[in-house]
Amino acid sequence: MLSQKHLQKIELLSDTVLYPESVAFVRRMIQKEKCNPLPTTQVNGLLNIALTLNYDNVRNFAEHQRERNWPSNKRDIKTFYTHLEKELIRLEQRLDTEFALTKDEHGRPVSSEDERELLGRLTREYIQHLLAENMLAEAEIKEQRRFQQGPYRR
C-alpha cells in the first residue's frame, strides 16, 4: 500500500512536472507534428483507461491504438499514440531516478505492486492534464476555422 508521503509526492510531481510536460506534449503534437487534436471518442477511451490506475492497461491501449491500421484521414491518431507510448516509457524510466519513488521513507525498495500503482497514478495525472489541454486546443482550432470559414468570407 502506498504511503502518504508517496501520494503527496505524486501530487507535487503532477503540478510541477507532469502538468507542464503534458501541455508541451499537446503543443508539440499540433505545432511540430502538425496533428489535429485527439478526437473526443479517443479522449474518452484514453481517459477511462487512465482512471483504472493500471499502467499496463494504458500501455497496452496505447500500443494497440498505435498498431491499428488507421485510414489515411486518421493517421494523426497513430502519430499521437506513437508519441504517447514514448512518453509513457520515459515516465517509467524516471520512476526510480528522477522521481525517486521506488523507495519508502526508510529507504527500503517498494514492492513491485506498489511500483505499478505509482506508475498508474502518475500516468493518470499525466493523461488527465494532457486531455484537458487537448480539449482546449480542439475548441480553439475549431473556432479559428469557423472564423476563417464564416458566412461573410469571400
Partner 1 sequence: MNKEMQIILEVNNQADVFYQDAVKLGDHAGSVLKRSRSQLTGLETIAESTSKISDVFDYIKKQTARNSSWRQAHKDSPNEGFGVRLKKYLETNLKESMGIICKKPQLEIGDKSEEDQRERRHIHLLLMRQFIRQMVVEYEFQVNLGDTLNPQNTQGKDAGRNQGNSKRGL
Using the contact rule CB under 8 A, the part of the chain among 66-74, 84-92, 110-118, 134-142 near partner 1 is: 134-142
Q: How far is the CB of 99 from partner 1 (least distance, A)?
A: 11
Helices assigned H by DSSP within 100-111 = none
- Considering only 138, 145, 147, 153, the residue that binds partner 1 (CB under 8 A) is 138
Q: Report residue 16 CA to chain centroid gap.
A: 15
- Considering only 47, 65, 94, 129, the residue that binds partner 1 (CB under 8 A) is 129
Read off the amino acid at residue 138. E
CA distance 26 to 87: 12
Cell numbers for 25, please give them.
506534449
Binding site for partner 1 (CB under 8 A): 8-9, 11-12, 14-16, 18-19, 125, 128-129, 132-133, 135-136, 138-140, 143
